[in-house]
């Protein structure tokens, strides 16, 4: 059974491992190493499978691997729980695996909730990381949070968004890993394929991050933003799943912090503009 997706994943995850990561002494052979990461035979040895069998898997022409083989590969590749689930999904593709088309607009009740949070930036994104709902404070905080903006396009193709994020590299790597987690193993959606192709063609940073095959759902963390009028604002965020593959992300400042004061100032600026308008 051909499985090009599994083969690509195995090659990518092998490439990010180094001999020292898995306890192999490569002091003598490192200068002769012609490929990134572990050699195929090294990975096969760590997984307890024959080199020929592993080569067939990486070439996409191996038989359907057993659960024990997948577990061994996950351990050898040092995969975490989410990456291991992704490995199993690739090895066990669902027949006709195209998902039902997800809803591409935010529910009215959710938008009403967003609008009620006048001092809390919040957004709703689709599975493709397109902003389909946000409130005024989120839009004021960063232009990329305007409805209709695809966060991946903004992060990798818009210099303004690059400047807005204090730690752009973390934001970009998290976005790509989250994107992989949210789309799962699906590749049949032409809009997904077009988005990935556009980013791959126009951004070397995206190509490098995409090639790693990181899969990570980030539900909480911190983000720093540069705002032209109030300076740097450091916020915490929490991401919560909704229906239809949508995710609600809420940002907030630590109580009593200067960041909370900065958010309050932005909220006042918005209210003042609305009164004048």
- How many CB atoms neighbour CB 18 within 10 A? 14
| 276 phi and psi angles, rounded to 5 deg | -70, -30
- Note the pLDDT tens digit of each residue in 11-20: 999 999 888 7
Q: pTM score, two decimals?
A: 0.86
3-state secondary structure of 226: strand
Q: How many angstroms separate the CA atoms of 247 and 244, rounded?
A: 9
- Note the pLDDT tens digit of each residue in 53-105: 999 898 888 678 889 999 999 999 999 999 999 999 998 876 554 454 455 78
For the segment 122-151, the average pLDDT, to the nearest whole number, is: 97
For the segment 255-268, the average pLDDT, to the nearest whole number, is: 96
Q: How many angstroms separate the CA atoms of 249 and 46, rounded?
A: 40
**183, β-bridge pairs:** none
**Residue 211: Cβ-neighbour burial (10 angstroms; 0-12, 13-18, 19+):** middle
């Amino acid at each position: 059974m051909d499985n090009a997706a599994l083969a690509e994943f195995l090659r990518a995850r092998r490439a990010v491992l180094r001999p020292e990561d898995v306890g192999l002494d490569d002091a003598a052979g490192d200068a002769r190493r012609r490929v990134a990461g572990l050699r195929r035979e090294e990975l096969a040895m760590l997984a307890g499978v024959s080199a020929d069998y592993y080569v067939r898997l990486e070439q996409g022409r191996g038989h359907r691997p057993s659960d024990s083989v997948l577990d061994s590969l996950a351990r050898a590749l040092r995969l975490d729980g989410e990456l291991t689930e992704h490995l199993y999904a690739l090895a066990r593709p669902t027949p006709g695996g195209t998902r039902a088309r997800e809803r591409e607009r935010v529910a009215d009740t959710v938008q009403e909730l967003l609008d009620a949070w006048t001092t809390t930036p919040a957004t709703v994104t689709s599975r493709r990381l397109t902003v389909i709902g946000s409130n005024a404070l989120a839009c004021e905080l960063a232009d990329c949070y305007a409805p209709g903006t695809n966060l991946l396009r903004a992060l990798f193709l818009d210099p303004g968004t690059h400047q807005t994020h204090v730690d752009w590299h973390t934001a970009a790597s998290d976005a790509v890993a989250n994107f992989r987690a949210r789309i799962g193993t699906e590749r049949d959606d032409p809009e997904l394929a077009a988005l990935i192709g556009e980013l791959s063609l126009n951004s070397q940073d995206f190509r490098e991050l995409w090639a790693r095959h990181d899969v990570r759902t980030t539900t909480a963390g911190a983000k720093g933003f540069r705002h032209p009028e109030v300076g740097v604002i450091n916020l915490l965020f929490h991401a919560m799943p909704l229906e239809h593959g949508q995710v609600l992300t809420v940002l907030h400042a630590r109580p009593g912090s200067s960041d909370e004061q900065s958010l309050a100032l932005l909220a006042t600026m918005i209210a003042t503009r609305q009164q004048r308008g």
